[in-house]
């Protein structure tokens, strides 16, 4: 184990939500239809370890505890010493109760819409000719955006992100 640590110097990857864009946002009666794009920066700081992003990733956006859209990320291999931008499409169609709908409308008027982004990504470390077992990456971000207007990149006013890598 000491040789592995000294030779490979494994470091956990780093993640950050960089952009939040709205392709469509329609709130009619109590039905909300959304199509968002979330850009997540994935940073692999390792010199000798690449990262395999496996099938089964999940990305969700919630408002006041109500999931409003979801999607999944790509399967790919991230090279060593690499920063990759993941542009994830998230879609949803949901019925909202009147309190959540009214809050959405009020937050839009005030220009401060709080959203929770939950991300789960299964990865493997690839070193030379071997691969690790699946490692779970989980991220939770609270963001506050200025607007959810169609065909517009929302300005992220506040952002608090936490992630953990379960080896």
State pLDDT tens for residues 120-129.
999 999 998 8
| Residue 3 included in any domain | no
Read off the CATH number of the domain in which 76 is found.
Answer: 2.60.40
Residue 30 covered by a domain: yes
pLDDT value, residue 128: 85
**Structural domain contains residue 1:** no
Q: Identify the pLDDT of residue 93.
A: 97
Q: Which of the four pLDDT bands, split at 50, 70 and 90, describes residue 1? A: low
Positive or negative: CA dihedral 121, 127, 131, 135: negative
CB within 8 A of 146, min separation 6: which ones? 111, 112, 113, 154, 155, 157
What is the structure's pLDDT at 4?
74
Structure confidence by residue, pLDDT tens digits, 23-64: 999 998 899 999 999 999 999 999 999 999 999 999 999 999
How many Cβ atoms from other residues are within 10 Å of residue 52's Cβ? Answer: 17
Question: Is residue 157 within a helix (H) or strand (E), and if so which, with residue range?
Answer: strand 156-166
Q: Say if 116 falls within a structural domain.
A: yes
Residue 104 sits in which domain range?
11-166
pLDDT in tens, 139-160: 999 999 999 998 889 999 999 9
In a domain, 2, yes or no: no
Instruction: Assess if residue 27 is contained within a domain.
Output: yes
Question: Is 38 within the bounds of a domain?
Answer: yes
In a domain, 6, yes or no: no
In the chain, the number of structural domains is 1
């Amino acid at each position: 184990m000491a040789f592995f640590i000294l030779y490979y110097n494994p470091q956990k990857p780093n993640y950050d939500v960089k952009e939040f864009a709205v392709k469509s946002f329609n709130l009619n009666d109590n039905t909300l239809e959304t199509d968002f794009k979330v850009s997540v920066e994935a940073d692999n700081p390792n010199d000798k370890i690449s990262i395999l992003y496996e099938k089964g990733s999940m990305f969700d956006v919630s408002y006041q505890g109500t999931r409003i859209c979801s999607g999944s990320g790509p399967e790919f291999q991230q090279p060593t010493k690499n920063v990759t931008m993941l542009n994830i499409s998230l879609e949803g169609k949901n019925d909202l109760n009147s309190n959540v709908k009214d809050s959405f409308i009020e937050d839009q008027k005030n220009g401060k819409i709080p959203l929770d982004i939950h991300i789960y990504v299964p990865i493997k470390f690839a070193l030379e000719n071997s691969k690790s077992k699946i490692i779970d990456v989980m991220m939770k971000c609270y963001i506050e955006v200025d607007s959810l207007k169609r065909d517009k990149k929302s300005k992220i006013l506040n952002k608090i992100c936490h992630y953990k890598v379960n080896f």
